[in-house]
Each structure stands twice: as structure tokens, then as C-alpha cells.
């Protein structure tokens, strides 16, 4: 057996062990989608992926629209203020509850004053300034973390029931 055979064997032992817990834990086969966002067209794709996943989880039509709106607002911010980013949509569960987690991250300039941007009407570009605070009201959980110069991550969750 050569060194590469050993490495190959080790890999074949490790792979199923890594792959199976996720498959066993999750009742849903495709429970995560990742969409790179560079343009407004990419946001349409992220919205469609989220609707698809959320409808399989039993979300009402109204909630599907709220989730799509939340993605639009936060991903649009990533395009406009950070030259794009990434949206990751994940099926989650807690006890009997099913839900979706949406993480929108970018590597833009970051947000220096998070409490200010979370207030209705605060905009550095003279717009309505309701994207972030309005989206927080649509979702069940909402968190912004940002490091100046390092980028911004918005994590939100919505539960189906």
C-alpha cells in the first residue's frame, strides 16, 4: 500500500461519517441553498430558491411573500452598499417547529452605527430608510453584525408555525 492508498482509504472511511449525520438529522433532502448575489437578477434567484424551500416546509402563501420581501431588501442592500454578497437559505427546526434561516453576508464597508440604521427613516443615500427596520418586523428573529471595513452579516429566521 502506498502513501496515497493510505490517504485514499482514510478518505473513504471519513467521507460517509461526515456525510451521514447531516442526512440523518435532516428530514429534507435539499435543505440549504447558497446564491452569490452580484446583481438584482441574482436576487430573483435567491427569492425563488427561498420560496421553493419554504413552501416545502409548510409556510403559508402570505409568509412566502414576507420571506421573499425580506431577501429582496437585505440582498439589495448588499448589492447597493457592498458590491454584492451571498445569500444562504437553510431549513431549520426546533422541537416541532419548522422554519427557514436566511443569512445575507457581504464584504463591503460595514455598518459603523447599527442602532441608527435600525431606526425607521435612517438612510445615508436619501432613500426611505426602512429596508432594515421594516425587514426586522417581517421576521421572527433578526440580527445584524458588522465590522467596519470587514463587511456585514444579516441573520434572520422565520418559523412556519
Ligand X SMILES: Nc1ncnc2c1ncn2[C@@H]1O[C@H](COP(=O)(O)OP(=O)(O)OP(=O)(O)O)[C@@H](O)[C@H]1O
Enumerate long-range contacts of 6-13, CB under 8 Å, 24 or more apart: none
Rg (CA), the chain: 19
- Which of 80, 82, 84, 81 lies closest to 46 in space, CA to CA? 84
Q: Which of residues 113-142 bind Mg ion (CB under 5 A)?
A: 131
112 vs 108: CA distance, rounded Å: 12
Q: Which of residues 15-74 bind Mg ion (CB under 5 A)?
A: none
Residue 130 makes contact with ligand X by CB under 6 A: yes
Strand order in the sheet with 151-159: 32-37, 85-94, 97-106, 151-159, 141-147
Residue 152 makes contact with ligand X by CB under 6 A: yes
Please pick, from the candidates 35, 87, 89, 111, the single residue that binds ligand X as defined by CB under 6 A: 111
142 vs 159: CA distance, rounded Å: 12
Please pick, from the candidates 55, 81, 92, 159, the single residue that binds ligand X as defined by CB under 6 A: 81
130 binds, among ligand X, Mg ion, none (CB under 5 to 8 A by kind): ligand X
Total residues at interface with ligand X (CB under 6 A): 21
Q: Which is nearer to ligand X, 53 or 132 (CB)?
A: 132
Please pick, from the candidates 49, 63, 77, 105, the single residue that binds Mg ion as defined by CB under 5 A: 77
124 binds, among ligand X, Mg ion, none (CB under 5 to 8 A by kind): ligand X
| Cell numbers at 121, concatenated | 427613516
Residue 117 makes contact with ligand X by CB under 6 A: yes
Cα dihedral across residues 106, 108, 112, 117: positive or negative? negative
Binding site for Mg ion (CB under 5 A): 77, 131
Question: Residues in the site for ligand X, rule: CB under 6 A?
Answer: 73, 77-78, 81-82, 106, 108-109, 111, 117, 122-125, 127-132, 152
Amino acid at each position: 500500500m502506498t502513501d496515497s492508498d493510505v490517504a485514499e482509504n482514510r478518505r473513504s472511511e471519513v467521507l460517509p461519517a461526515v456525510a451521514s449525520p447531516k442526512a440523518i438529522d435532516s428530514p429534507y433532502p435539499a435543505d440549504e441553498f447558497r446564491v452569490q448575489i452580484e446583481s438584482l437578477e441574482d436576487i430573483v434567484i435567491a427569492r425563488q430558491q427561498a420560496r421553493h424551500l419554504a413552501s416545502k416546509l409548510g409556510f403559508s402563501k402570505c409568509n412566502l411573500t414576507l420571506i421573499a420581501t425580506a431577501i429582496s431588501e437585505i440582498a439589495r442592500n448588499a448589492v447597493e452598499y457592498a458590491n454584492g454578497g451571498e445569500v444562504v437559505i437553510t431549513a431549520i427546526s426546533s422541537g416541532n417547529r419548522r422554519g427557514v434561516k436566511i443569512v445575507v453576508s457581504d464584504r463591503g464597508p460595514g455598518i459603523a452605527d447599527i442602532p441608527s440604521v435600525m431606526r425607521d427613516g435612517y438612510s445615508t443615500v436619501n432613500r426611505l430608510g426602512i429596508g432594515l427596520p421594516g425587514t426586522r418586523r417581517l421576521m421572527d428573529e433578526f440580527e445584524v453584525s458588522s465590522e467596519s471595513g470587514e463587511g456585514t452579516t444579516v441573520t434572520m429566521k422565520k418559523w412556519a408555525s
